[in-house]
Amino acid sequence: MKIERVELIHIRLPLVGTFRTSFGSMPEKDTFLLRVITGDAEGWAEFAGDPEHLYCDEFAASAELVLRDHLIPRVVATGDVSVARVGPAVEAVKGHPLAKAVLETAILDAELRGYDMSLATYLGSVHDRVPSGVSVGIMDTIPQLLEAVSGYLEQGYVRIKLKIEPGWDIEPVRMVRREFGDDVLLQVDANTAYSLTDAEQLRKLDEFGLPMLEQPLAEDDLRGHAELAKLVHTPICLDETINSARDTATAIELGACRVVNVKPARVGGYLEARRIHDVAAANGIPVWCGGMLETGIGRAANLALAALPGFVLPGDTSASGRFYAEDITEPFVIEDGHLPVPTGAGIGVDVLDDALVRYTVARRDLYSHR
């Protein structure tokens, strides 16, 4: 497969409401799509990062630079490109997993479309639909939170995840439990907002029967998570700490987690995400698929991953309408608490040209074969 062109498409989609976490607020999704054109097909992928490096140390401008000047040239130099060659070709470039992920995914999409094979089939997925959870951001008031949760439950979501931070943790959880009962699958996500000295405060979450407490401490504090796991009964779930299958094995061995959140972009792509799934499954550790406010491009690929057998917990695979009044693909709609896994070739969805035009800020070639 010869790569003829790689195009970056900068897009901005307004969110239906500002999404707030412990590290910042987002009124819109400002990112880029990568389009890889070969002689046989074209592939699409979505950069999962943001314009600023608040969630992680990668951001859109840095990703564009490393793609243009380092990653794409190395991959193109392999000649007959296949997804199996992408990892070895870019291994010498340290870091930049989000940039590597968007390139690998676009190439994988193009390759699978050429074979008329779905990503779900390629990964080894075993389900045709996956349970849908929703992530609820930090809000100004408890009544506002309760109204939002009520709306999501009425829409059929089978799991509610509350973002928390110091000062917005115990009381929001208590009130959601009181309002909606113990039968609601409720979990919390701290996005690294706490330290080990907050163990006493975090232990107060134990009374609510949560299936997990996600990433309470800093991403590099593996020892701290292992210590915290001894002090609280709520299972610790690691997210930002997990960047590879090796990290997963280490965290499990140290007792730092009992659940793993797999975000394909954060770990460098869907091939590494599948390896993380395999390591966790071999150790009896449940995994679930996290989200990064993806458009339909990223959401489609995540659904294929979430259909693997080890993904036994509902993930952040919410309906398109959770974030966007209009998506750049046909919208994903929740039915009976689930979303369908795309079965078409590649990621299984196509970009809607008219919508893409409306939300495109700029387009530029990162590579073109002359």
Question: Which amino acid, 282?
Answer: A
DSSP H stretches of helix in 141-264: 142-155, 170-180, 199-203, 222-231, 245-254
* H or E element that contains 280: helix 270-282
Q: Is 263 one of the catalytic residues? A: yes
Please count the residues of the chain. 370
**Residue of 29, 100, 161, 263 with catalytic role:** 263
Assign 71 to helix, strand or coil.
Answer: helix
Question: Which amino acid, 336?
Answer: D
- Structural tokens at position 134: 């929703």
CA distance 158 to 6: 39
Residues contacting residue 142 through CB under 8 Å, at least 6 positions apart: 171, 172, 175
Residues contacting residue 319 through CB under 8 Å, at least 6 positions apart: 132, 155, 331, 332, 333, 334, 339
Neighbours of 6 (CB within 10 A): 24
- Structural tokens at position 197: 């000295």
Q: Any idea what DSSP says for residue 311?
A: B
CA distance 190 to 135: 12
**Residue of 29, 100, 161, 163 with catalytic role:** 163
Assign 122 to helix, strand or coil.
Answer: helix
- Structural tokens at position 39: 């002689």
Q: What is the side-by-side order of every strand in the sheet holding 259-262?
A: 133-136, 159-163, 186-189, 213-214, 236-238, 259-262, 287-289
Neighbours of 365 (CB within 10 A): 12
Active site residues: 163, 263
